[in-house]
Amino acid sequence: MLNRFSAVAVAALAWHCLAFAQTATPSHHQTFQNQPLQNQTLQNQTLQNQTLQNIYGRTHQNLDGRWHYIVDPYETGYYDYRRKPYDESEKGTGGYYDDRQPKDKGDIVEYSFDGSPTLAIPGDWNSQDAKLEFYEGTVWMRQKFTAAPKEGKRYFLYFGAVNYEAHVYLNGRKLGSHKGGFTPFQFEVTGKLAAGSNTVVVKADNKRHQDEIPTVSTDWWNYGGITRDVLLAEVPDTYIADYKVQLAKGDARRIEGYVQLDGSRKEQEITVAIPEANLSARVRTDANGRAALRIPVGKLRYWSPEDPKLYGVTIAAGSDRVADRIGFRTIETRGKDILLNGRSTFWRGVSIHDENPLIPGRLRGAGDMRMLLQWAKDMNCNYVRLAHYPHSEEMIRLADEMGLMVWAEVPVYWTISWQNPDTLRNARQQLTELVVRDKNRASVVVWSIGNETPVSEPRNAFMFTLADTVRALDDTRLVGAALEVHRNGKEVTVEDPLAEKLDLASFNEYAGWYWASNKDMLDFHFNIPYDKPVMITEFGADALGGFHGDADTRWSEEYQDQLYKNQFRMLEAIPGLRGITPWVLVDFRSPRRPHPYFQDFWNRKGLISQTGKRKQAFHTLKAYYDKKQQQYQQYQ
């Protein structure tokens, strides 16, 4: 079992993970997790269940829209009265996924999708039905669509995200299941589509469990449902399943990566072209469908927040062709400096949740996402922490386009079941899905493996494995985690073995709010014992927008504003300070925040209120960022 592995065995497991995870991401988790941890077996299993790289660049049919739904708190549509799943019975029928209609007036059918209300998909159910605001459990959703499958083509049913556990059925037959509420998965449906009308049914269950990722306790709303796009993708029989086209680690003069084919003709010539940069390469895939890329670079505009240049990249193999827009940049640390394209930078950031404060619920599309990212840019940010889970692919692509560096994170949050091997497997799975999806996005500069996890031997082993896993998957970006601080008298420090495995001395601290006050917080000082760049991943204070008092009045805009000013004085004394992401851009909903006046189930640490009004601290942070930008212009 994983929790009994020696250090050598864990390292070996990470190597096995590398061998298959760069080429694909498993989506049928039940099948994947029950396989022996053997290299060839996992390569084959993963290749069969991979998600398409750059799904939006493929021919596809969008299945979004109004889906009929049935709320099922007792899971009557999944289990029989003996608590046995219908889809595991001999016939495989009996559940709501049958979408049955009465055969005659004497037939009993105790559910009806046709007679049920509808939800907008993508979208959570909590914000669309008042009865479901706090609901945690199973909801069934059904969509009908027309298909015209072609000979010689392959088809994949793709989900951008379903929270948390999804079971998917096509025309009454189960395709598979997936755990993880923020990463994509797909099922091949070649040969399973009907010519004409088809029905897809999804059982989504957002119940929290101790052994899952995230665990039972979080500080955000547990939005349930199909929260990102549903697509039916069409590809040739042999197709480009995956690719990586990025600058080599620490080398701005060489593009490295790979192309992975899947299908009956795995050995063929591949062409990779970047016409605007006058770059191209021809390589041949091996018997496994894989070819390595190494392309020397001449003149190139490197991606940065000041110049977010994206190049058109095309990859062609036989009858398949994929087009992408990719930026090229290097990111590395040297002592206490962070070097973007070889130049020292200060990351002027803010943390963001995947939630629209103005229209309740998860972000539903590019308009919502661009609004939040533009608010960050209005504050002169060059960097955002997308917390505490993977945000959508569209959000990352917008960051590419708008020039915002990204801290991308998985929801290994607070106290996880550190000694449960299935929990570790789940965490590694979600981390892999994140990295595989976003590895071609220049904006992503940090892979974060967790937030505020308490130090212990089991936790250390768990987190060390995640650090090794992500480095095996991608060595071109920094690895971070939001650590916790410890206080000894008036000294604040980080005492965490995990810090040695990270590229950044990155931590959360809430001086002035959860410990100390505006009056005494300046008596504290930081001692960070690492020769690494220091990144403050969270600090902040709650302020109800429009509530005013003096700088000692909790919940007032003045208290929050003074706390920010005091934080700047404290943090500037840290020699290696190279960036901050205060908590948080905008107020967000949380069941942990019940105060009837100041909170009303909102976390009020936003610099922008739930109505979109900028609080005083917004302007104070912008002024600080303006000064930091001027200070670091000498390095540009």
- Determine the Cα–Cα distance for residues 529 and 578; give it in Å rounded to an integer: 15
* 262, amino acid identity: D
* 416, amino acid identity: I
pLDDT digits (tens, 9 = 90+) for 290-316: 999 999 999 999 999 999 999 999 999
CATH number at 55-236: 2.60.120.260
238-329: CATH superfamily? Immunoglobulins (2.60.40.10)
**If we measure between CA atoms, which residue out of 93, 206, 75, 97 comes closest to residue 142?**
97
> Between residues 365 and 636, which one has the greater pLDDT?
365
pLDDT at 568 > cutoff 70: yes
Write the DSSP string, 90-150.
Answer: SS---SGGG----SSTT------STTS-EEEESS-STTT-GGGTT--SEEEEEEEEEE---
Mean of pLDDT over the chain: 93
Tokens 């942070």, located at residue: 621
pLDDT at position 113, please? 98
pLDDT at 5 > cutoff 60: no
- Determine the Cα–Cα distance for residues 203 and 165; give it in Å rounded to an integer: 8
Domain definitions of the chain by residue range: 55-236, 238-329, 332-634
> Between residues 63 and 11, which one has the greater pLDDT?
63
User: Mean pLDDT, to the nearest integer, of 405-433?
Assistant: 98
pLDDT digits (tens, 9 = 90+) for 70-94: 999 999 999 999 999 999 999 999 9
Mapped onto helix, strand or coil, the DSSP state of residue 241 is strand
pLDDT at 23 > cutoff 50: no
Tokens 């917004």, located at residue: 618
- Determine the Cα–Cα distance for residues 105 and 111; give it in Å rounded to an integer: 15
**If we measure between CA atoms, which residue out of 51, 53, 56, 54 comes closest to residue 26?**
51
User: Mean pLDDT, to the nearest integer, of 372-395?
Assistant: 98
User: Mean pLDDT, to the nearest integer, of 436-447?
Assistant: 98
User: Mean pLDDT, to the nearest integer, of 398-404?
Assistant: 98
pLDDT at position 635, please? 64
> Exposure pattern of 375-386 as b/e (b: 16+ CB <10 Å)?
bbbebbbbbbbb
pLDDT digits (tens, 9 = 90+) for 468-498: 999 999 999 999 999 999 999 999 999 999 9
User: Mean pLDDT, to the nearest integer, of 151-158?
Assistant: 98
pLDDT at position 21, please? 34
pLDDT at position 366, please? 96
Helix (H) or strand (E) holding 627: helix 616-632
3-state DSSP of 491-523: EEECCCHHHHHCCCEEEECCECCCECCCCCHHH
pLDDT at 229 > cutoff 80: yes
Residue 339 bridge partners (DSSP)? 332, 344
pLDDT at position 435, please? 98
pLDDT at position 636, please? 61
pLDDT digits (tens, 9 = 90+) for 166-183: 999 999 999 999 999 999
* 600, amino acid identity: D
Class of the CATH-defined domain 332-634: alpha beta
- The pTM (predicted TM-score) of the whole model is 0.93
- Determine the Cα–Cα distance for residues 617 and 604; give it in Å rounded to an integer: 12
- Determine the Cα–Cα distance for residues 48 and 517; give it in Å rounded to an integer: 56
pLDDT digits (tens, 9 = 90+) for 316-347: 999 999 999 999 999 999 999 999 999 999 99
pLDDT digits (tens, 9 = 90+) for 245-265: 999 999 999 999 999 999 999
| Long-range contacts (CB closer than 8 Å, 24 or more residues apart) made by 269-275 | 269/317, 270/315, 270/316, 270/317, 271/314, 271/315, 271/316, 271/317, 272/245, 272/313, 272/314, 272/315, 273/313, 273/314, 273/316, 274/311, 274/312, 274/313, 275/312, 275/314
pLDDT digits (tens, 9 = 90+) for 595-615: 999 999 999 999 999 999 999
